[in-house]
Amino acid sequence: MTASREKLVLVGNGMAGIGTVEQILKLGGAYEITVIGSEPHPNYNRIMLSYVLEGSKTTEDIILNNWNWYEDNGITLHTGTTATRIDTASRQIYTDSGLVIPYDKVIIATGSNSFILPVPGSDKEGVVGFRDIADCEAMLEAARQYSKAAVIGGGLLGLEAAKGLVNLGMDVTVVHLMEDLMERQLDRSASSMLQAELERQGVKFAMGMQTVELTGEQRVSGLRFSDGSELAADFVVMAVGIKPNVQLARDSGLEVNRGIVVNDYLQTSAEGVYSVGECTEHRGVCYGLVAPLFEQGMVLAKHLCAVDTKPYEGSVVSTKLKISGVDVFSAGEFIDTPEHTVISAKDEWKRTYKKILLRNNIIVGAVLFGDVTESANLQKLVKQGAKMTDDIYAEVMGTGCCGNGEAKKGLIVESMADEEIVCGCNGVTKKAIVDAVTENGFTTVEEIKACTGATRSCGGCKPVVEQILQFVLGDSFQQSSKQGICTCTSLSRDEIVAEIHAKGLKTSKEVMHVLGWAQEEGCSKCRPAINYYLGMTYPDTYEDEKESRFVNERMGANIQKDGTYTVIPRMYGGVTTPEDLKKIADVSLKYDVKVVKVTGGQRLDLIGVKKEDLPKVWEELDMPSGYGYAKSLRTVKTCVGSQFCRFGTQDSMGMGALMERKYERLDFPAKFKMAVNGCPRNCAESCTKDIGIVGNDGGWEVFIGGNGGIKPRIADSFCKVKTDEELIEVCSAVMQYYRETGNYLERTSEWVERMGLANIQTVILNDESNRKELAARIDFALAQVSDPWKKMLNDDSTRSALFETAKV
């Protein structure tokens, strides 16, 4: 006869409580388990709510344990039910739904509640906290109806809420009592960098402001501050802090201070009653971050399963900000005092900051901004109270020559303790990952994710998981076989663009963070590509990231092998004026230009300009750049055409100038060249250009996909048109379709062969509405770039004058 199992009841269906239950199940605990949850959902990842808010994940995406998991593990789940009292004498739990549930042991994991400022008006409509799915849904609904939001509180939750609301299209101001953001986790330098980064992403700030009243009638309409000033807002998020949810414990007669008081084995003042998570107070401390809650849960699970375990002695607190595109980390002490030795490095160009605090040569704290690749290592060193050495200094500050980078990774993984948490979102330890590999034969991150849950949430631990895999498997370890646009990701161009659209990703950092880049900063191959994809996707709102561009594009000139630069002024259709030639000559003499060369694209290269002279050269030339360095329209080569040539049938110089002025400054996947011939004699070599145009008696013939470079290719005949207007519309449609479907750095010669000429013709020539939509989209993108000729291009009355500018 099988002995009856002890009844274990978990009050609270959140991450801390269910994390403890998961550990109990793994340890083979023989309990009959019941879970009571106030929310109508199965267990979900609360720290991923900001991703739901910003639109990169759905509610379903953040569910950690679905309904089937409870059933499969024999767990009775009561959702939408709140425990109101624990009778510790009779060992029964009473609920608001009338259920009375007996227990042998009970775990309280009721978490915390949002702290709502006790100011007049805080009970008005449109005022919410940010703690659960209901709050998130209220914020999503508000963004659909209202435009101005205020977030009170510049801590972790407040900033997550603010960025999410900005992504939803709201005008958002963060109101913070202190002068520094996240002042409990960051020093002033990191805080100021964080504020600058978030301002760049659209968040506004009102720092040092104390809210004394929320104004409005039934619904909030604004905030009034202690200095008498006001801020209009039709939606307010309170994110000034959290308070442990101890009502159940207090009503049940348990010892309560700020939180539910527990000993080192998480036992409360009542026998058989335990507590974990944000509602818990251990040695006078309540933790509001995830990693300590899992550490508590592991100790409690082993205690309940009679497995030897060290007592819980507290946690070293660390914070990693989970706002897409913003990387911030802190651990341990972060404000330096005279008793600290400070090691720091700040790079304002790359927007990175690193600070390590020592006390008597012991590592006691760290702050990182922008580059958090050393966060796991620093957290371990702070937790261990490690002594600073020359080797550690070189390792964490990036100054040493480690020789074999893989060996360094192996040493870091080898030094990790078995119980060290790798995945903070899901409480997965190094041992759990190693066991998954050695016991189950797993060899990929996807298999580890399915088995342990590591990487299934924010993805920040993926590099460490891969390092553990490589360490355990040795030479048999293989990276994911799927190759993406670079080694940083397995995602293809089309997948990345689709994710940008679907999740509303707005910056390179967001793309890399949300889509799980292996290298958080990306590489020289993917950074320019993502910058292009974002600019193409959001032509009217995207702020070009100059740091993601190649050096020539950043400098506005082509660097030469001796370190000097080549400046190329624009000459529309290869035509210039005596005045412009004089300016080129004057500048060339003044700045000691070594060579002035006539190029194959009918322009003049000023070769040998010193780097420090570039701004002055461009200023004194007062001519547009020829973009000889850019992934954009380089030149439109022309012959003299009907203006002068006895064989010319069309005005090639006029059309070439029009094309060049219309499409200049617009980014493409790769460099783009055009040519316009006035007759089929092809003096401008249209057959080797990305778009070649040939005039004839009946109009124009368009060729696409030509290349005269390393991989020469004769252009394909695309179509014939009769009018200038048709020609411009077709060329616009071809260019935009290439912009939207071309791989970064893929020339049209490769693009035509990959896409297929017939397919491109079907999309553009056989579907008039689609052609016009493509042309409209490129015109919209062109309207966003600085173009002194925009008025002329868009005004039919002045358009004929544009052709005249090409005539000498």
Residue type, 307: V
- Residue 392's nearest CA partner among 356, 423, 340, 345 is 356
CA–CA dist 621, 567 (Å, integer): 10
Amino acid in the structure at residue 256:
V
Burial of 801 (0-12, 13-18, 19+ CB in 10 A): exposed
Token pair 């089929």 in the structure block, residue: 680
The pair phi, psi for residue 695, each rounded to 5°, is: -80, 150
Query: What is the pairing mode between strands 127-128 and 148-152?
Result: unpaired
| Alpha-carbon gap, residue 605 to 595, rounded angstroms | 8
C-alpha 655: how far from chain center: 42
Q: How many CA atoms lie within 13 A of 257 on its CB side?
A: 10
Is 488 annotated in a binding site? The answer is: no
Q: Is 639 annotated as a binding residue?
A: yes
Question: DSSP string covering 109-169, please?
Answer: ---EEEPPP-STTTTSBTEE--SSHHHHHHHHHHHHH--EEEEE--SHHHHHHHHHHHHTT
Q: Is 466 exposed, middle or buried (0-12, 13-18, 19+ CB in 10 A)?
A: buried
Residue 601, number of CB atoms within 10 A of its CB: 18
- Cα 155 to Cα 185: distance, rounded to the nearest angstrom: 9
* Closest C-alpha to 246, from 15, 86, 116: 86
Question: Which uninterrupted H or E stretch holds 87?
Answer: strand 83-87
Residue in the block written with tokens 């993984």: 413
Q: Confirm or deny that 683 is annotated as ligand binding.
A: yes
d(CA 416, CA 676): 65
3-state SS, one letter per residue, for 313-346: CCCCCEEECCECCECEEEEECCCCCCCCEEEEEE
Of 327, 222, 226, 312, residue with least CA distance to 276: 312
679 marked ligand binding residue: yes
Please check whether residue 461 is in contact with residue 423, taking contact to mean a CB–CB distance below 8 angstroms: yes
Annotated binding site: 639, 645, 679, 683
Annotated binding site for siroheme: 683
Annotated binding site for [4Fe-4S] cluster: 639, 645, 679, 683
